[in-house]
Amino acid sequence: MLRIGILTSGGDCQALNAAMRGVVKGICSKRNDVEIFGFQDGYRGLIYGDFKMLTSKDFSGILTRGGTILGTSRQPFKMMRVPDKNGLDKVEAMKHTYHKLSLDCLVILGGNGTHKTANMLSEEGLNVITLPKTIDNDLWGTDMTFGFQSAVDIATDTIDRIHTTATSHSRVFIIEVMGHKVGHVTLHAGIAGGADVILLPEIPYDIDVIADIIQKRSASGKPFTIIAVAEGAISKEDAKLKKKEYKEKLEKRKYPSISYELAEQIEKKTDKEVRITVPGHTQRGGSPCPYDRVIATRVGAAAAKLILKEDYGYMIAIKNGETKKVPLSEVAGKLKYVDPEDSLIKEAKMTGISFGDK
Ligand code: F6P
């Protein structure tokens, strides 16, 4: 008997179901003595022994379904060693559930925080295989995470729709794109949507440069400007602050997010009307795009292959178009940022896109 525990952890994204389907179909195509324990709401289910027994049938018909059939929750890594309100040691509780159910392995789908905990569980002696999910595409060790391309499609669609109304009204529009501390989604959606200015956390901006671009566009007969801004974008001034000082500044910020601060500054420095659009969680919603369905299926099948070989302790990555296993210890705790020297940035600049830096 092969006994597999499976969970999805952290913020959801498109193609989580497609990836789980890939794992289960891959295993069940080779073995028929499989028991699947689906843990509810990520690590929470593993901690408190909240699971449901699933069969391969439960993973049929879910390729195109958004969200996760298992539910998910955020269980911060830094809180894992802190006992819960009843004094329960969460790490010991997870190990207990694993051993009590005599699991052969855990399949964990998640992003950065999830991988820190997955690596810790692997170091604690559990058999773990992980799959790279997140719209942010910020997971170290893989070129691509599933969810990313679907989010890029949605953010691009938002920019496309804003383009027409921005043009009609000769307005400046700021579209705030998700991505946590990195700018991959904004960069790709910004280029695909023809944004005039793209602001990323990795390239601090100068508000005077942005104001100048808007004025020059107006003077040249282009009275509208589209600015794609990553939620984590930062000004040159703020980038000079120490991490702690910046955090304190953000806590005191009177605006709900970066876009509102930018809008106020632009209105002061130009004669333009500024509007803000925040697509927010729509970027994580709905069906996965075909590309995500394909890579989720691939990483799922590659995970199945490792499980059948009992080769544990890895994340399945997409590297140069191939599925590869990467040791969890190499992935945990590292972020994959946009490289300001990347050719994508240089090519975008050649087409006239400004990153607000000079
Ligand atoms: O990590 C995915 C992500 O959507 C980030 O882009 C965003 O910063 C964060 O999650 C939002 O988290 P929550 O769903 O908890 O509001």
Q: Residue whose CA is closest, atom 10 of ligand 1?
A: 11
Crossing angle of helices 290-309 and 148-169, in 10° steps, is 160
Cα 215 to averaged position of ligand 1 atoms, centre (Å)? 34
Q: Which pLDDT does position 303 carry in this prediction?
A: 98
Q: How many residues does the chain have?
A: 358
Answer whether 135 contacts ligand 1 (Cβ < 6 A): yes
Residue listed under structure tokens 């498109």: 14
pLDDT of residue 348: 98
Closest to 199 in 3D by CA, of 243, 265, 273: 265
pLDDT in tens, the chain (358 residues): 999 999 999 999 999 999 999 999 999 999 999 999 999 999 999 999 999 999 999 999 999 999 999 999 999 999 999 999 999 999 999 999 999 999 999 999 999 999 999 999 999 999 999 999 999 999 999 999 999 999 999 999 999 999 999 999 999 999 999 999 999 999 999 999 999 999 999 999 999 999 999 999 999 999 999 999 999 999 999 999 999 999 999 999 889 999 999 999 999 999 899 999 999 999 999 999 999 999 999 999 999 999 999 999 999 999 999 999 999 999 999 999 999 999 999 999 999 999 999 9
Helical axes 343-350 vs 184-192, angle rounded to 10°: 30
Residue 111 Cβ inside 6 Å of ligand 1? The answer reads yes
Only one residue has tokens 């509780």, namely 93
Q: Indicate the SS3 state at residue 261.
A: helix
Residue nearest to atom 2 of ligand 1 (CA): 11
284 Cβ below 6 A of ligand 1? yes
Alpha helices in the chain (DSSP H): 16-28, 43-48, 90-100, 112-123, 148-169, 184-192, 207-219, 236-239, 243-252, 258-269, 290-309, 328-331, 343-350
Relative to beta strand 197-199, strand 225-230 is parallel
pTM above 0.95, yes or no: yes
CA of 12 to the centre of ligand 1 (A): 8
CA distance linking residue 122 with residue 115, whole number of Å: 10
Give the residue whose CA is nearest to atom 8 of ligand 1: 180
Q: In this predicted structure, what is the pLDDT of residue 275?
A: 98
Indicate the pairing of strand 274-277 with strand 172-177.
parallel
CA–CA distance, 296 with 282 (Å, rounded to integer): 20
In Å, how far are 23, 29, 52, 290, 297 from 2, measured between CA atoms? Answer: 13, 13, 16, 31, 21
- CA 284–ligand 1 middle distance (angstroms): 9
CA dist 348 and 351 (Å) reads 5
Distance CA 349, CA 333 (A): 31
Which residues are identified as catalytic? 136
Q: Is 180 in the pocket of ligand 1 (CB under 6 A)?
A: yes
